[in-house]
Structure 1
Amino acid sequence: MLDQIPAPVFRPEVRHHDLVVAFDLGTTSTTYGFSFKEKPWDISLPSEWGSSVGLSLALKAPNCILTSGQGAFKAFGYDAQQMWCWMSPNESKKFRYFDNFKSQLRSKGLTRDSMVYSTLGHQLPALDALAMTLSYLKKHAQKEVLIQTDLSLDLLAVQWVVTVPAVWSSSSKQLVREAAMRAKLINEVNSNNLILALESEAASLFWRQTNQSLINRYLLIDCGGGTVNFAAHRILADRRIEELVESKGIDVGGDSIDEGFLSLMEQIFGQDVMKNYKEECRTDWLQLKLDFTRAKTSLDPSQPGWRFLVPIASSFAECCRRISGRGLEQLIDARHRNRGVAIAGCNLLLSSHVIRELFDPVVNQIVQHIEEFLEKDPLKTVNKCVMVGGFGECHILQDALKKAFTSRLTFIVPREAGQCVVKGAVLYGHSPDSVAKHRSRKTYGIQVYEKYDPDIHNPDKTIQKDGETIAFPVFHTIITRGEETKSGEVRKFMFKPSSSKVKRIVSPLYETDKLSPVYANEAGVRKIGLITMELPGEGMDREVQCVFTFANSVIQVELSHVVPGKGQGTAAKVSVDFLSELC
């Protein structure tokens, strides 16, 4: 608990590295890129993804992990997928398959003991899942650098970058940093050798290089598998980027359409059929999902009378007969036939009406958030929208958004929309100050004591201390939601201990969407971390200097005590524990 004293501001140093390696951890798929500081724009992507399954040109790998029954790492990506699919039911009981686990890391209540769940309900610590992923990617990148450049990768000379969605909580981001330390990318949690880059900012950095027009103010939508992130940027005269408003995100994306398709399959053919097919015919089940995903992205809705074809394996027809006693066409009832569901040879035929119904819930949410964004004062004159991300390449989504904003926005889809994030993350690693100004996505603060003022404070939120009425717990704002901060800017404050006998400071860190919270325990204010520090000596004349740095999507804190008559003591960087079970 602290009493407050105001103080000035200072800037941190900028560091440089020989090589930047950036990991784009998507919900559905993962990739990485790298380049050297001499030629930062000469970005290389993996050349051997999928070679084990004959996909030599694949630029992304499926985000899945195979472990032993005891949780030991066995395989990642295509290798994990192939091994799992070809196992017999009895053999598979000895292993655990974790698919799309990143979607389980969005929770604001994550702790170090949080779990992710396999397709069959088995558990794996989330920290282990992330560490396994980063360790595998690190080793793959080492091999790739050697293949493409004939150079050995010096881990100490690498600037690592990991992309994160705007919707991720502080605890999710800290989990990534702790996993990176366990994977031996960095030696300490807050190491400058790891940067967490917002996906939307990374994509914007890459697009600005390919943008040869005079567009300098635009809305950017990063449409991924598990999230859609919204940002509004301006390109400055020096080609750096400035956030016009705080970015936001929603927990929908291309995967939501896939889930809707599988739900539709259950409605048509029955839950028992789909459950049995998933368990007994893993390879064909996976192929069904992949075929739908590819068709979803590539189909052109501008063609008259378009319909959607999904290949159906013979094993599915056999499963239907075995479980339900009926064939494919017999299972399609009149209601679904009238809506445009049919069997055409070895394909499931879905009408444009059925497909648009799958897209409508996702499209409606995206449209709603774009409309809310455009209502903000800095964006009322913005008329360009850049769409990036793998789901951003989907023509059905593009068509729906263009129709929704016909007279308001012009949509731009870069040629490499699906690679904008990873390539932009590499550029961000070379030049973190390329984003000149950020906007805080939350209001952050700590709790302090204040002298009671009846015009400001609630008399029910007071305590008696040394014969004086004190307001507590007062929310002391560090930064306000939407507030602009320059690249590398920090906030510096001076505090006094709450009593003369205090030997250790334990101060919670809070966040809220409110602009001006009064108390740390009011509705809508959430404890997200703990700041701790040993405080030597005794007396009320001691002071603590707190420096809060908001950089690269992470909050860092540096504390130092001021010794009476001797000036400032030793400064120490203090980790904010966002994963504490006490939060």
Structure 2
Amino acid sequence: MILPFWLGLGLAHFVSWLCRGCSAWRSKAMQPSFLPPGSAHATYKEAILFFLSETAPTSAYSSPARSLGDTGITPLSPSHIVNDTDSNVSEQQAFLVVVAIDFGTTSSGYAYSFTKEPECIHVMRRWEGGDPGVSNQKTPTTILLTPERKFHSFGYAARDFYHDLDPNEAKQWLYLEKFKMKLHTTGDLTMDTDLTAANGKKVKALEIFAYALQYFKEQALKELSDQAGSEFENSDVRWVITVPAIWKQPAKQFMRQAAYQAGLVSPENSEQLIIALEPEAASIYCRKLRLHQMIELSSKAAVNGYSGSDTVGAGFTQGDKYVVVDSGGGTVDLTVHQIRLPEGHLKELYKATGGPYGSLGVDYEFEKLLYKIFGEDFIEQFKIKRPAAWVDLMIAFESRKRAAAPDRTNPLNITLPFSFIDYYKKFRGHSVEHALRKSNVDFVKWSSQGMLRMSPDAMNALFKPTIDSIIEHLRDLFQKPEVSTVKFLFLVGGFAEAPLLQQAVQAAFGDQCRIIIPQDVGLTILKGAVLFGLDPAVIKVRRSPLTYGVGVLNRYVEGKHPPEKLLVKDGTRWCTDVFDKFISADQSVALGELVKRSYTPAKPSQLVIVINIYSSEHDNVSFITDPGVKKCGTLRLDLTGTSGTAVPARREIQTLMQFGDTEIKATAIDIATSKSVKVGIDFLNY
């Protein structure tokens, strides 16, 4: 029998309990028929006797050789996976409307659809403000707090108000932008993770994300109420929040916690909120595109015989595969789907991949160019001393960045704020024009109108590192057997609007598959997220991004287990640190497919069981001490409220874990009382 490192039971209490309940050991659950063929695991009596510990039930696990036990449980049966969709699908609440929030790195927005009119998707009202020539059906992901750290404004309103502040006054206000990337780049994300405002001051990330979601909640409910002619209640809404597919579980949990704090939903009604993966949302929407709603880049001939009113799906046959390239501001997500007809359900063929290759990479290259011309020390000081002017400079660059194109011949002019020119002269003692002459950067010139004049080649060079990373990642993906026969490549996301990226993708893959760009490419994820909220079961099969499991003890086998893992206790030889796998990286998992485990508390009165969860990017994991294996979270079973008047000496707690959804979920039941057990999976506070 497989044994975990989770027993923390005082000796005197244990002996008393064991004497009273020894007959329980003859239960069917412990007969050899429950063991895997050829297993050499301990009996339960051996397990309990071995895991004697005088530490508290909540003591943290270090190693069995150093601290025997975590929280007082022992398994009743080995893990196995069952297809039990109905058992874990609660009755769906009847929502009147689905509201999706596309929380992007550079821009955000919301859209909605009434459940009685699922095909009619309404994009939020046009935002006030915006830049000339830039679509403003989304608003910048920017937030402004007062000097007292109270929410002031979001989006264009925040940006414009901050722009109009006196430079000295602006230093007191907290302005944040592009902060979503913090959740991807922070390896040790917690509820206390900080963000840095433009003025250098720190603020809790959870607070900022909650403010942003609360803003969208209020905007959406107001618009819904105005349209309906009566006040819309939050309970009428199913909320959907989009996140990159390459985000790990802590970042997804963080967004959910922010939604709780923002009042979108409560932990008691967690099913009211769905986390949608951005490329999946795009995939769902792209299936329904009419042919006149898309632009085809590839040289691959389209199938003849379709009219403009046909959907892309009309060109699908059973088993067709396609790639979705979601290129946004912060990240690029790649996902591969296979169509299942006639329902149009989707199956993920390869685990989502990608990286930080969004359009922010172009901004970073521009910043490096400014370092080269004016000096890194000056640029960093300018950001701190003139934060509003730095924002103005990057807004000016964003406008010119959107004008970059492969066939452009005339220069692009970027206006430098007056405060930049003035502060540089005070900082260096000479002019901006002098700096340009001395920098040896030939492709950037100075204009007497106070502008940097960049040649088209200079602007294109800023795009090259980011685009090269995307193309290289796509080439690696196309080498996989599951991807080699894809029929379509959908290029979506805000960065997909860039002609330079479009040309690069077309040149690299246009002869392999049909490359399609939706005409409303910047709203593809937003609209797809609404469709996902209306039908969360449309993705039937996903791939696990990581291997998950727990640490256990096995009986030591000479020649199989390494000597350093040997632990002898009361004459019995044990192998420590064994990785007991729940699911493997890149393993296909159907929606509703469950991993079943049964545990028993070390004593009947125990109220809480906490189990450490480990993960790895590799699938051939043997021990929790293997390279790349790390503790990633905890599974907490709260047994309060399940105890009856007669608690059996040995209580079986059956736990069901689901890995086929966008978030890892778990439920549990006390077999003796048939009562539900409160379960929590925590990837942030473990």
> If the length of structure 2 is used for normalisation, what is the TM-score?
0.78
In the TM superposition, what whole-angstrom CA distance separates every residue of 1:92-142 from its partner, at most 9, and x where no partner exists?
344222222211112231112211111222111111111111111100111
Q: Name the CA distance, whole Å, in 2 between partners of 1:124 and 1:18.
A: 36
Q: Which residue of 1 aligns with 2:121?
A: 43
Amino acid corresponding to residue 224 of structure 2 in structure 1: V
Corresponding position of 1:180? 259
Asked if residue 476 in structure 1 is aligned to residue 580 in structure 2, the reply is yes
Give the counterpart of 2:280 among 201, 207, 215. Answer: 201
Tell me whether 1:550 sits opposite 2:659 in the alignment.
yes
Q: Is the 8 A contact 1:49 1:55 kept in 2?
A: no
Q: 376-385 or 320-329: which moved more?
A: 320-329
Alpha-carbon distance in 1 for matches of 2:195, 2:268: 22
Q: How far apart in 1 are the matches of 2:459 and 2:326?
A: 22
Cα distance per residue 1:483-541 (max 9 Å; x no partner): 11222332222245578997642211121111121112322112111112356799995
1:10 — aligned with what?
84
After TM superposition, the structure 1 = structure 2 runs for residues 337-486 of structure 1, keeping only pairs within 5 Å, are 337-338=441-442, 340-344=443-447, 346=449, 347-454=451-558, 456-465=560-569, 467-486=571-590
Say yes or no: does 1:129 pair with 2:218: no
| Matched-pair identity in % | 30
* Counterpart code for 1:222: D
1:226 to 315, 326, 330: 330
Residues of 1 paired with 2:447 and 2:110: CA distance?
Answer: 40
Structure 1 residues 53 and 153: CA distance shift in structure 2, 3 A: farther
**Secondary structure at the residue paired with 1:516?**
coil
The C-alpha deviation readout for 1:283-330, integer Å capped at 9, x for no partner, is: 554333223223323432134x45433344555444444444444433
Which residue identity is paired with 1:129? I
**Paired residue for 1:101?**
179
TM superposition shift of 1:174: 1.0
After superposition, the C-alpha distances for 1:413-453 in whole angstroms (9 at most, x for unaligned) are 11011101111001100000111211111111122233333
Number of equivalenced pairs: 575
- C-alpha deviation, 1:190, in angstroms: 7.0
* C-alpha separation in 2, matches of 1:56 and 1:485: 41
Distance 1:520 1:157 in 2: 45
Change (3 A) 1:172 1:82: same
Tell me what 1:252 maps to.
357
Which of 27, 30, 48 is the aligned partner of 2:108? 30
Residues 469/559 of structure 1: CA separation in 2 closer, same or farther (3 Å cut): farther
Aligned to 2:137: 59
Q: Which runs of 5+ in 2 are unaligned?
A: 1-5, 7-73, 291-310
Q: In structure 2, what is the Cα distance between the partners aligned to 1:56 and 1:402?
A: 24
Q: 2:364, 2:227 → 1: CA distance?
A: 38
| Stretch of structure 1 that moved more, 527-536 or 256-265 | 527-536
Deviation of 1:480 after TM superposition, in Å, equals: 1.3
Matches within 5 A, 1:515-554: 515-533=619-637, 541-550=650-659, 552-554=661-663
Match for 2:445: what amino acid? A
Distance 1:149 1:499 in 2: 56
Q: How many angstroms does 1:384 deviate by?
A: 3.0
| Runs of 5+ consecutive residues of structure 1 not aligned to the other structure | none
Give the stretch that moved more between structures: 167-176 or 427-436: 167-176
Q: Distance in 1 between matches of 2:134 and 2:542?
A: 39
Offset of residue 390 of structure 1? 0.4
Change (3 A) 1:57 1:501: closer
Contact kept? 1:208, 1:235, Cα under 8 Å? no
* Distance in structure 1 (CA, Å) of the matches to 2:603 and 2:554: 13
2:396 to 256, 271, 291: 291
Conserved 8 A contact 1:5-1:495: no
User: Is the 1:511–1:527 Cα contact (8 Å) retained in structure 2?
Assistant: yes
Q: Against the structure 1 CA distance between its residues 499 and 468, is the aligned structure 2 distance closer, same or farther, given a 3 Å change threshold?
A: farther
Q: Separation in 1 of the partners of 2:606 and 2:567?
A: 17
Range moving further from structure 2, 248-257 or 460-469: 460-469
Higher mean alpha-carbon deviation, 360-369 vs 253-262, is at: 360-369
User: Cα gap change, 1:53/1:151 in structure 2, threshold over 3 Å: closer, same or farther?
Assistant: farther
Name the residue aligned to 2:437: 333
Which of residues 586, 592, 596 in structure 2 aligns to 1:492?
596
Q: How has the CA–CA distance of structure 1 residues 194 and 422 changed in structure 2, closer, same or farther, with 3 Å as cutoff?
A: same
Aligned letter for 2:473? H
1:5 Cα deviation (Å)?
Answer: 2.7
TM-aligned CA deviation for residue 164 of structure 1 = 0.6
Tell me which amino acid in the other structure corresponds to 1:30.
S
Question: Whole-Å Cα distance in 2 between the matches of residues 417 and 56 of structure 1?
Answer: 13
SS at match of 1:378: coil
Distance, in Å, in 2 between the alignment partners of 1:541 and 1:337 is 76
Give 3-state SS (helix, strand or coil) of 1:428's partner.
helix
Contact 2:655–2:668 (8 Å) recurs in 1: yes
Partner of 2:44: none
- Could you tell me how far apart the structure 2 residues matched to 1:479 and 1:228 are? 26
What is the 5 A alignment of 1:75-86?
75-86=153-164
- Work out whether residues 171 and 387 of structure 2, in 8 Å CA contact, stay in contact via their aligned partners in 1: no
1:220 aligns to what SS in structure 2? Answer: strand
Tell me whether 288-297 or 359-368 shows the greater mean CA deviation.
288-297
Deviation of the 1:173 alpha carbon: 1.1
Taking structure 1 as reference, are residues 499 and 249 closer, same or farther at Cα in structure 2, changes over 3 Å only? Answer: farther
Assess, with a 3 A threshold, how the Cα gap between structure 1 residues 189 and 129 changes in structure 2: closer, same or farther. farther
- 1:227-257 Cα deviation digits (max 9, x unpaired): 1101111222111222111111202210110
What is the letter of the counterpart of residue 241 of structure 2?
A: V
Contact map agreement 1:199 1:421 (CA 8 A) in 2: yes
> Following TM superposition, by how much is the alpha carbon of 1:25 offset from its aligned partner in structure 2, in angstroms?
0.8
* 2:669 aligned residue: 560
Distance 2:162 2:385 in 1: 12
* Residues 56/91 of structure 1: CA separation in 2 closer, same or farther (3 Å cut): same
In 2, are the aligned partners of 1:196 and 1:552 still within 8 Å (CA)? no
Query: Which amino acid counterpart does residue 484 of structure 1 have in structure 2?
Result: S
Structure-1 separation of matches of 2:181 and 2:533:
25
Amino acid at match of 1:71: R
Deviation of the 1:547 alpha carbon: 0.4
Partner Cα distance (1:22, 1:176) in 2: 14
- Cα 1:189–1:431, aligned 2, differ >3 Å: closer, same or farther? same
1:242 maps to 2:351? no
Shift of 1:53: 9.2
Using the alignment, how far apart are the partners of 2:132 and 2:231 within structure 1?
A: 27
Q: Distance in 2 between matches of 1:335 and 1:67?
A: 38
